[in-house]
């Protein structure tokens, strides 16, 4: 067992971890390979981190897999990513079922290629009864898009004579694609970049942020344990002072 894992407090494991998986392309370039090769190796990290989170008792793992801005990347990379997603969902379905992990997706799935969307929805259906942990893939996702869609829904509903809801945080949250998912306790971003990149802007209001220089294909269990250990060293006050938490 990892020495770092032995130092983790099982009572303070974050219940929802969100990860911006960054650095696949740079990892590939560093190793003299095309960018898509970095994404393929990154899938191994996805598998290992997913299994490690389930073992630790994390209830939700949300991975930023493909943003709306990623459509602007070279066409060969985008096409390869869509194909890789289809293959990964099919290949890892047995692992998800064995580990009692439920697959879920957030984002504008209608904007995904039909073959990719169908493979994803099939995986979601087949794992729908699993209960140990939920793996949320953010695909064709943009937090600004998500917030705008919620605002449009409120504006549309407000025109109805039957609309009688109080517009508060709970109501607004219920209109987001994460409506059934608790806000993240911990956000991890790999590759040394220190920004949120249009990811879960509403949901990250009180999330602990952890940035690491490790590129995503090199991010494995040891790096996850380090991030959680750092998280456990922090005091989460949610706007209060330390004495109020005693």
Catalytic residues: 22, 70
As a dihedral over the C-alpha atoms of residue 223, residue 214, residue 51, residue 19, rounded to 10 degrees, the angle is: 110
C-alpha torsion sign, points 188, 194, 198, 204: positive
List the end-to-end C-alpha distance of the chain, in Å, as a whole number: 33
Cβ contact 181:200 at 8 Å = no
- Using CA atoms, how far apart are residues 223 and 227, in angstroms rounded to an integer? 6
User: What are the tokens at 44?
Assistant: 């191994």
User: What are the tokens at 223?
Assistant: 């790096």
- The three-state secondary structure class of 14 is coil
Cβ contact 207:183 at 8 Å = yes
- Using CA atoms, how far apart are residues 198 and 67, in angstroms rounded to an integer? 8
- Using CA atoms, how far apart are residues 244 and 223, in angstroms rounded to an integer? 32
């Amino acid at each position: 067992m990892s020495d770092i894992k032995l130092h983790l407090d099982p009572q303070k494991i974050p219940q929802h971890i969100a990860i911006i998986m960054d650095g696949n392309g740079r990892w590939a370039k560093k190793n003299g390979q095309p960018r898509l090769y970095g994404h393929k190796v990154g899938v191994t990290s996805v598998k290992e981190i997913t299994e490690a989170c389930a073992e630790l008792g994390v209830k939700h793992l949300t991975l930023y897999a493909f943003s709306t801005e990623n459509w602007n990347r070279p066409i060969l990379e985008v096409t390869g990513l869509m194909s890789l997603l289809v293959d990964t969902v099919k290949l890892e379905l047995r692992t998800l079922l064995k580990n009692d992990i439920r697959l879920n997706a957030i984002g504008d799935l209608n904007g995904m290629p039909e073959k990719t969307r169908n493979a994803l929805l099939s995986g979601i259906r087949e794992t729908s009864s699993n209960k140990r942990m939920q793996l949320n893939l953010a695909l064709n996702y943009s937090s600004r898009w998500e917030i705008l869609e919620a605002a449009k829904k409120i504006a549309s509903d407000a025109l109805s004579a039957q609309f009688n809801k109080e517009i508060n945080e709970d109501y607004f949250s219920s209109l987001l694609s994460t409506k059934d998912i608790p806000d993240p306790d911990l956000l991890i971003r790999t590759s040394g970049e220190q920004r949120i990149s249009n990811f879960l802007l509403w949901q990250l209001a009180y999330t602990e942020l952890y940035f690491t220089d490790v590129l995503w294909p090199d991010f494995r269990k040891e790096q996850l344990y380090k991030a959680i250990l750092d998280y456990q060293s922090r005091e989460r006050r949610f706007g209060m002072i330390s004495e109020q938490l005693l």
